[in-house]
Amino acid sequence: MANAAADGRVEFRFDAGHHRRYADVDYDDISIKLIHGPIKGIVVKDAGVAGCWGGGNELVVTSHTFSQNHEQVVPLADDEPVTLIGDGKAVLNLKTALPKYPTTAVLDAEQASEVALLGRNIRFEADTDVPHKGGYLNVLRTFNVTQKIRGVDFNRFGHLDQGNRYPIHFDRLDKVPDGKIEYNLIRQSNMRCVILNGLEGVTVEGNVAYNNKGICFGTFAGREQVTITNNLAIRTRQNLDSWRTASFYIRDPRVIFKGNVAAGSDRKGIYFQPEWRTSVNYHNMPAHKRNWNPRDTALGAFENNVAHSCAEWGLVLSTYHPLGNEPSTQVFSTYRGFRNVNNAHMDVRGVALDDWYLADGRHRNLDLQWSTDIHINDMKIVAYSPTFRKQVKEQTHIWHTCKDVNEKQRLDRLIGFEVFHKRGWKDWSGYDKTTAGVVMKGVTFEGFEDTGCAASNPFYAERHREQPHFDAFLAIESMTSSTEEAVLNLCTFESLEVQDVVITDADSSMGPILTGKAEGSFSGPSSIVSDYDYMKGFAGGECTSNAGKCLAYCENTCLQFVSWEVTPYGTEDVLLVVEDVNSGKSISVPGNFEVSKNNDGTPNVYYNTFLYDMRKFSAALPAGEYTAQFVKDGQPYWPTHAYDRFERKPPCMGDGSVTVTLERPDPTLEECTELVKNGDVELGNYTHWVHVNGGVEAMEGEGVDGSYAMLNKRSHRHHGIGFYVDTRCTKLMEGHEYRITAQVRLQDANGAAVSCDPDSLDENNMCPTMWLQTKKYRQDANTIDVWNMANVAMSVRPWNMVGYTLIEGTFVVKDTIAQADSVFLWVTRGGSKHIVVDNTSIKLHYRGDVSPPAADAMPLAMMAPIPKAECPKEFLMNKGFELGTTEYWRNRGYGGKGKLEIVPGGADGTGHALKMTNVGHYYNGPLQWIDSTCLEEGAEYEVSARFKLTNMATGEPHYCDTSVWRNGNINQCPVMTLSIWTDTSSGAYHLAKTVDAGNADNWATISKIVVGNANMHNSWQAFLYLEFIPVGIDITVDDVSFARYEKDCSNVVRDGDFEDGASGSWGSVLSAPPIAIDGGYGSAGKAICLGKCGINSSGRTSRDSHIYQNLDKDCILPNVEYVITAKVKLLDQDTQQPVGCNPNMINGAEACPFADIATDANGEWRGRVVGAVVGADDDSWYMLSGVFMFYDWDLPGNTLQLRFYRAPALVDMVVDDISISLRDSSFLA
């Protein structure tokens, strides 16, 4: 280096740099050459500075190096500061010479330094008494008022690291007609420069900002329709804004952003990051303006902007994805980025980059990290420009990327553009499910030769190897390069074991360079691929290998990726064999999976067993028809599940398409009977298990029987541990039911047992449950359908603090599960406690009297689902609680209320019953899932249950009123309800009400025979439950049944003797519902009563009040004789004493009731008498009988009813032993 001595001599001193302490340096052939003399003037293309730029004012010349701090400040000459030289030009005469020679427009018009005046006629300068606490100018809430600030020097304004204290701040002004912030100077600000927050109509133009802290020019709320144009920001310094520090910060894409220059920043030059929603509310703002997503909004304008000398990024485009807008209309045009550490970074989609110039990026010129659906047109990328080479050679303060004076900052490569080859995270986030990729047209690479770097590569793979598969679709057209060095090179991908790269060369523009053939040798598209046989096997022309660039150039080839993702374990040695149906040619594709390793080289179990870590098999295929199958050790193999993904179809494929049929080997019934592999951890490791955070660990000696168990160290309630099941089986077993069981326990981080509440639905307090999740890729919409079934298995009661507790549940394989690409089940919830799991099973489940098929090893045909052999008569399991547990039963804990427990003593005084306490809402009640696929339209089902009620506070018996239900009344009676879900709707059907409220000696009864409807038949999920239990009343339940009703056509009447206490088959008109009462015919059993019946508050007030039953027409034969018989008794409704009637009278107070048959023919009822009282019997009972026929016109009607009719008003009518049977039973045959 040189120093001027006092006597005018120049002394040169040679420095060995960082190695001087131990370096032995020899010097030879020393030469000293004058590069340039003193720089006393600057020529500018603006004669208008004359008369405006006065003598003694300071000028700033922006940095021409990588450094953000290499700007130069010098004063203008006192006398004649500006000299006009014609042709619209002027010379700025300097008082002192520039110490360093900048980049001039003559030397390089693309990279010329900027010159600005550091002075204005109006100056606001803050005191220096309080450090970092300058003045600030806020314009706040002046709605629809014009605001103009012009030609002012703001010096040392702003409060350091304090919001809303900026040199110029326009805050929530809504509309500002013709607002202007122009030609101002902001320098040495303590906090930002010009900040706009929630407004429209302002223009920010021609301002200069120098040596300021934090974001300089910024829009913040995401609702700023403003114009920012021709502003210059020099040396922006970092402060509280930290990583957001930028010379320009844009949060609303509608901003008109043109002609701005970021010349040196500690972080970013231009940061374009739209808000995800508007962040403030404005005065009288309509709702459609308050809540919208700027990230989806069309671009205002981005043109002719420049960033250079920034320490992090020149330009960052982030989180912008204008949905529904074509990339060609969202154009970021004519950007120049040079001599930044990184010239441009993209995290956007659906945009075009037109006419860009990127040069001399110290690390990267263009980083396309997460971007997709990007169109790049007419871009020039220069690795090492001639201007920069000259300046590095001649100016010691300018260093080269790979020859940094600081060894720690030296890099070994220059990068043209860099891609993140793996975009799999978007598969789960709702963004693109397969990348739309990048299309590059008219891109030119220069300056990649003789860079002095170990690696100079136009095309580079970012060193983030989530999975070694290339899914970043890339197509090129009309690509040119200055030398062979500046062409695509796949060796960086090879170093990351990414060995399936495909780049579509739409017009074979790279063919001559990569193959050495003449330019006229190519026509149509070609493909640049990784140099492996499985990548070249289906090429349409010759493939030329280029080992030095780790690629092959395949002529006349257009390829589309089809990928399958599978579980990584058990698939290490699996190949995907793809065969062309027409030619018979085949390729064998290996799987891709990155095995994460610990520092000692051993596999990292946590990362390798994460739920979303998959092994991917990716086949690059031209248009055609193919078959594919997984093969292991030469035999067909199935890896539990496989997601198929058709990645982007390249434009060169035109109307052609790729069709692949994935062949699955047939499973055996044994394989589909039990779906869980390693469920009892018998392998002693975590094979087949994955985790949703928390990891997996096989613990020896901790299992139920002292063997192994699986541990999940959770830190959040959503974490868990689970497994995928074989999708061949779920496809074949559509409509079949499986039962889940697992033994679980909870513990803290120290291994101590932890409790939970089996009845709670609060995810922090509830016991562990199991969830089911399916995923289905839809190629037509390029989306993944995710479907969750929560709490498919839950804990039984009580929770066992000593050992393990059973969680169990059932599910029916509905079409969503059967058609899914993957079916995943996992144990989760239970707060954030650690979960230990053992003996996990998912088995085919057969209810009641249905027997499972023999578990033979015969293959199951893959053509269609296996039909159910039969359905059970009884739908409910553990209906009498004979298991002594709450298995199969859940708490419909509406409002977080209700607790279930097993208690001794059922309805008959023996066994067990189920008790629900803490009823806090009448929707609370016990429930059980049933196999809804066995419900049939038109079929009859018998619904029944026995229960008793007790007061929760006193423990005393409680009796409900059968005439009261569903009104929140303390006397309401429980009801049995069926809830169902179809693909289009859901619904609840109140199947059976309480027909007998019980007494001190007998439990109450719910009973009815119901008919299945179309919605029940079409449902994919259903559960039966009790509801309308009075709040504050406990219920004990036993003998719950939902069973197919078996017809007995020997008696057309159902529930005719009432001996089981059931009256649910009977209805009433003009009276409370009929009930079963004690004291049937012969003083034994029960009979049905209509009226007060000693219980109801109101009775029969009219002779038309009657009971009826809808008869089953399937049991009826027309035109043959039937006999009807019944016993009838009349009671005074107040005294409940017998009342006589006269069989010879049909009207009046002494008339006896009669039986009739009534038909509803499309709303018109027709009835006729079929039975009458023929005489008195013992104990005031009357015999009712008759002989009649059902006629042809009885049967086509909507409803056929038997009615007991016309008893006198104000009396109760009691009926028993009702029968309608054939007079000649031989007709039953």
Above 60 in pLDDT, residue 426?
A: no
Task: Tokens for 1010, please give them.
Answer: 């119901």
Q: Are 965 and 972 in contact (CB under 8 A)?
A: yes
Q: How far is CA 766 from CA 284, 828, 884, in A?
A: 46, 10, 22
Give dist(CA 528, CA 544) in Å, integer: 10
pLDDT of residue 434: 44
pLDDT in tens, 206-255: 999 999 999 999 998 888 999 999 999 999 999 877 888 999 999 999 99
- pLDDT of residue 398 exceeding 50, the answer is yes
The pLDDT value recorded for residue 466 is: 58
Buried/exposed 326-356: b ≥16 CB within 10 Å, e otherwise = ebeebbbbbbbbbbbbbbbbbbbbbbbbbbb
Lowest mean pLDDT among 91-105, 215-229, 242-256, 893-907: 893-907
Q: Percentage of the chain surpassing pLDDT 70?
A: 91
pLDDT band at 1064 (very low <50, low <70, confident <90, very high): confident
Tell me what pLDDT residue 219 has: 95
- Tell me if 167 sits within 8 A of 174, measured CB to CB: no
| 463 pLDDT higher than 90 | no
Query: How far apart are alpha carbons 467 and 420 in whole angstroms?
Result: 11
Q: 1108 pairs with which residues across the strands?
A: 1067, 1203
Higher pLDDT, 811 or 406: 811
CA 355, CA 374: separation in Å to the nearest integer?
14
pLDDT given at position 110: 95
Please tell me the predicted confidence (pLDDT) of residue 620: 96
User: What average pLDDT does the chain have?
Assistant: 88
The rounded distance, in Å, linking the Cα atoms of 1202 and 1217 is 14
Strands 89-98 and 82-86: antiparallel
Does an H or E element contain 394, and which? Answer: helix 386-394
The pLDDT of residue 401 is above 50: yes
CA–CA separation, 211 vs 925, rounded Å? 71
| pLDDT of 427 above 50 | no
In one-letter notation, the amino acid at residue 515 is T
CB 1184 within 8 A of CB 1174: yes
CATH domain 562-600+609-660 topology: Immunoglobulin-like (2.60.40)
The pair of structure tokens assigned to 767 is: 């016991």
Question: Is 254 within 8 Å of 274 (Cβ atoms)?
Answer: no
For residues 806 and 786, give the distance between their C-alpha atoms in angstroms, rounded to a whole number: 28
pLDDT grade for 432, boundaries at 50, 70 and 90: very low
Dist CA 646 CA 563 (whole Å): 6
**DSSP assignment, residue 672?**
H
Q: What is the pLDDT of residues 1177-1218, one digit of tens each?
A: 777 899 999 999 999 888 877 789 999 999 999 999 999 999
Angstrom distances, CA of residue 143 to CA of 163, 284, 288, 335, 741:
22, 10, 19, 35, 66
pLDDT given for residue 1190 in this prediction: 93
Exposure on the CB side of residue 765, measured as CA atoms within 13 A: 6
Token reading at 1177 = 């019997």
Write out pLDDT tens, residues 746-787. 999 999 999 999 999 888 899 999 999 999 988 777 778 999
Residue 844 backbone dihedrals phi, psi, to 5 degrees: -55, 135
Q: Which pair of tokens denotes residue 354?
A: 């037109």
SS3 669: helix
What is the distance between the alpha carbons of residues 639 and 635, in angstroms, rounded to a whole number?
13
Using an 8 Å Cβ cutoff, are 382 and 331 in contact?
no
Please state the rounded mean pLDDT for residues 73-99.
93
CB 356 within 8 A of CB 380: yes
Strands (E), 997-1120: 1004-1011, 1021-1027, 1033-1044, 1067-1069, 1075-1078, 1086-1090, 1106-1110
Q: Are 842 and 724 in contact (CB under 8 A)?
A: no
DSSP alpha helices (H): ranges in 470-524?
Answer: 491-495, 511-515
Confidence at 24, pLDDT banded by 50, 70, 90: low
pLDDT over 50 at 36, yes or no: yes
Would you place residue 814 in the very low, low, confident or very high pLDDT band (cuts 50, 70, 90)? very high
Distance CA 1033, CA 726 (A): 46
What per-residue confidence (pLDDT) applies to 7?
58
Topology of domain 890-1044, CATH? Jelly Rolls (2.60.120)
Poorest-pLDDT segment among 34-38, 387-391, 702-706? 34-38
Q: Is the peptide bond before 1153 cis (omega within 30 degrees of 0)?
A: no
Q: What is the distance between the alpha carbons of residues 340 and 319, in angstroms, rounded to a whole number?
A: 22
- DSSP type of residue 853: P
Q: What is the DSSP string of 248-276?
A: EEE--TT-EEES-EEEEESSEEEEE---S
**Which has the closest alpha carbon to 38: 82, 74, 85, 87?**
74
DSSP 162-190: -TT--SEEEEEEEEEEEEEEES-EEES-S
Q: Which of 132-141, 425-434, 667-676 has the lowest mean pLDDT?
A: 425-434
Q: Is the confidence at residue 544, as pLDDT, over 90?
A: yes
Cβ atoms 611, 689 nearer than 8 A: no
For residue 1090, the one-letter residue type is L
Assign 635 to helix, strand or coil.
Answer: strand
Return all residues near 86 (Cβ < 8 A) that are at least 6 apart: none
**Residue 1084 pLDDT greater than 70, yes or no:** yes
State the DSSP H helix or E strand holding residue 17, giving kind and residue range, or none if neither.
none
Query: What pLDDT, in 10s, does the model give residues 1013-1037?
Result: 999 999 989 999 999 999 999 999 9
Instruction: Match 């496809």 to its residue by tokens.
Output: 731
- Report whether 639 contacts 822 (CB < 8 A): no
Closest C-alpha among 395, 419, 409, 397 to residue 362: 409
Mean local confidence (pLDDT), 509-521: 88
Residue in the block written with tokens 């995923």: 775
Cβ proximity of 468 and 492 under 8 Å: no
How confident is the model over 575-634, as pLDDT tens digits?
A: 999 999 999 999 999 998 877 888 888 888 888 888 888 899 999 999 999 999 999 999
* Section 846-855 average pLDDT: 74
pLDDT tens digits for range 1126-1153: 999 999 999 999 999 999 887 888 899 9
Q: What would the mean pLDDT of 866-890 be, rounded to a whole number?
A: 90
Confidence at 17, pLDDT banded by 50, 70, 90: low
Q: What's residue 289's pLDDT?
A: 53
- Dihedral sign (CA 126, 129, 133, 138): negative
Distance from C-alpha of 486 to C-alpha of 451, rounded to nearest angstrom: 11
Distance from C-alpha of 84 to C-alpha of 498, rounded to nearest angstrom: 61
d(CA 347, CA 462): 14
Residue 886 and residue 898: Cα distance in Å, rounded? 14
CB 266 within 8 A of CB 237: yes
Tell me: the pLDDT tens digits for 308-355? 999 999 999 999 988 666 666 799 999 999 999 999 999 888 899 999
Mean pLDDT of 485-497: 81
Residue 1067 pLDDT: 86
CATH architecture of 669-844: Sandwich (2.60)
915-929 pLDDT per residue, tens: 999 998 888 999 999
Q: Is the pTM higher than 0.85? A: no
H helices, E strands: number in the chain: 10, 83
Looking at this protein, which amino acid is placed at residue 26? D
pLDDT reported for residue 774:
96
In this structure, are strands 1033-1044 and 1021-1027 parallel, antiparallel, or unpaired? unpaired
Task: Tell me how far CA of residue 383 lies from CA of 337, 358, 362, 456, 482, in angstroms.
Answer: 12, 8, 9, 8, 11
Q: Are 1077 and 1093 in contact (CB under 8 A)?
A: yes
Distance CA 376, CA 98 (A): 39
Is the separation of the CB atoms in 167 and 194 below 8 Å?
Answer: yes
Q: How far apart are CA 98 and CA 448, in angstroms?
A: 32
CATH architecture of 1067-1228: Sandwich (2.60)
- The single residue listed with the structure tokens 């029940």 is 1016
Q: Take residue 754 and report the two structure tokens written for it.
A: 């932890």
